[in-house]
Structure 1
Amino acid sequence: MQSHEKHGFGLDCVELKESEKPIGICGLLQRPGLVDVDIGYAFLPQFWAKGYALEAASGVLSHAKKNLGMKRIAAIVNEDNTNSICLLEKLNFRYTKMVNPPQGKKEVKLYAAIL
């Protein structure tokens, strides 16, 4: 909620339309140490590989462009997280470089997309 108050964006709950059951989170973050706003998402394992992350992330990116006027969004991902890398590439993110996040213990891949 602090991110929404401070930046006008943050992580939101993703729910199933039919039941309003929470299945994960998706949204925009302004992480310390990253210049660009980045997209973040996490879903319960039973909802992986069913298209929910793609649908939610696509909506977040559309909102970022149309309503927030953003032109570039970043994403960070562990180099062994092939499912997230595949999702980012479907969303037209491209690998930029390896970075050390401020709180992270190991390097992560930085991706970026032009909206």
Structure 2
Amino acid sequence: MTNLGFNTQRLIVRPITIEDAPFVLELMNTPKWIKFIGDRNVHSVEEAEGYIKEKALPQLKTHGHTNNVVIRKKDGTKMGTCGIYHREGTDEVDIGFAFLPPYEGKGYAYEASSELMKFAKNQLKLNTIQAYTLEENTASRKLLERLGLELIGTGYLPNNNEELLMYRKTFEK
């Protein structure tokens, strides 16, 4: 069994749990989440709990990884999420991240995501990782490129008719 969580200099990164539902509710209803990720119709703590049970926990059980909560060590503040996802209808796994507005632009997303990339390569033994983002999401695009992912074209996620930029990184053996 792999170690499912990790720490960085400033952060604790651990798999999401049902107890994170109030935080997930807040995050999923931020303007940037709705604009760049999409409205998931999660408008109560109960709906957030359901989302975690239906989307995140099955991936953890089946694949050994899921969405992770990013927590600031110095005060225990839940700031965002980053994770590796198996999307239904795709063969590749992808990395994703989202942070509450007060914690954007402070290097937290890079710190958590770069360590998550190492986890994907070393613990999960993945050969490649992908990412998808809207063209106008420049912050996400910059972070993906800083993480070493390269733009490979455009495409669509299953059950989504919005054209997305597709990024990929192949890990060296």
Determine if the TM-score, normalized by the shorter chain, exceeds 0.5.
yes
Counterpart amino acid of 1:46? Answer: P
**Deviation above 4 Å: which 4+ runs of structure 1?**
none
| Residue among 75, 78, 88 paired with 2:131 | 75
Instruction: Give aligned-pair identity as a percent.
Output: 35
In structure 2, distance between residues paired with 1:17 and 1:26: 16
**Cross-structure match for 2:105:** 49
Q: Greater Rg, structure 1 or structure 2?
A: 2
C-alpha displacement at 1:27, in angstroms?
A: 1.0
Q: Does 1:27 align with 2:83?
A: yes
The corresponding residue for 1:104 is: 160
How many residue pairs get matched? 115
SS at match of 2:130: strand
Shift of 1:71: 1.4
- What is aligned with 2:61? 5
Which residue does the alignment assign to 1:90? 146
Higher helix share: 2
Identify unmatched segments of 5+ residues in structure 1: none
**Superposition RMSD on alpha carbons, in Å?**
1.0
1:7-43 Cα deviation digits (max 9, x unpaired):
1111010000111110011110001233211001110
Q: Deviations over 1:43-78 (max 9, x none)?
A: 001111110000010111001111111111000001
Aligned counterparts of 2:107 and 2:148: Cα–Cα separation in 1: 16
Structure 2 residues without counterparts, runs of 5 or longer: 1-56
